[in-house]
Amino acid sequence: MTKVTPFLMFEDKAEEAMTLYCETIPGSRVLDVKRYGAGEDGPEGTLKLARLSISGLEVMVYDSPVHHAFTFTPSVSFYVDCSSEQDLDRIVETLSRGGGFLMPPDNYGFSRRFAWLNDRFGVSWQINLP
């Protein structure tokens, strides 16, 4: 069976991001974690690769020990439909801390309330109240 899974590569921030996402998005949880062992490229005991369920969507996160000349782009984002304005406000407030807005929370005509932001790790999120 062919399976497609979003894969997020961080540099020394994957565990922090994984924790933030699972604590912020309802119905999210860590599925499994692999840590760097002795003699591997990353610091022993730190997160190497993890699988999480972000509100039912399986996502892989990886902590690269190698510095890369690229990061995330808002051209690819997580789109979250919220069940209430309170959920939207809480999620937006939490994910935007240390990040920045591409579109601050507002009614843009296509949604009662919508925000597009990059979190502090550079991952892009579109948060919507349908």
Looking at the predicted structure, is the pLDDT value of residue 42 above 90? yes
Cα torsion angle, 126, 25, 27, 9, sign: positive
Q: Looking at residue 77, what is its pLDDT?
A: 97
> Within 10 Å of residue 43's Cβ, how many Cβ atoms?
13
Question: Span 17-42, mean pLDDT?
Answer: 97
How do residues 70-123 score in pLDDT, each as one tens digit?
Answer: 999 999 999 999 999 999 999 999 999 999 999 999 999 999 999 999 999 999
Looking at the predicted structure, is the pLDDT value of residue 126 above 90? yes
77-129: CATH topology is 3.30.720
Query: What's the Cα-to-Cα distance from 7 to each of 11, 88, 90, 108, 130, rounded to whole Å?
Result: 13, 24, 25, 30, 27
> Residue 94: which residues within 8 A CB-CB, separation 6 or more?
20, 23, 24
Backbone phi and psi for residue 117, each to the nearest 5 degrees, phi listed first: -145, 160
Q: Token pair for residue 106? A: 């507002």
Looking at the predicted structure, is the pLDDT value of residue 1 above 90? no
Q: Looking at residue 68, what is its pLDDT?
A: 94
7-63: CATH topology is 3.30.720
Q: How close are the terminal C-alpha atoms of the chain, in Å?
A: 33
Round to whole Å and give the CA distance between 40 and 21.
Answer: 27
How do residues 50-70 score in pLDDT, each as one tens digit?
Answer: 999 999 999 999 999 999 999
Q: What is the pTM of this model?
A: 0.93
Pick from 97, 79, 86: nearest CA to 17:
97
Tell me the three state secondary structure of residue 31.
Answer: strand
Chain region(s) in the chain for CATH 3.30.720.100: 7-63
Chain region(s) in the chain for CATH 3.30.720.110: 77-129
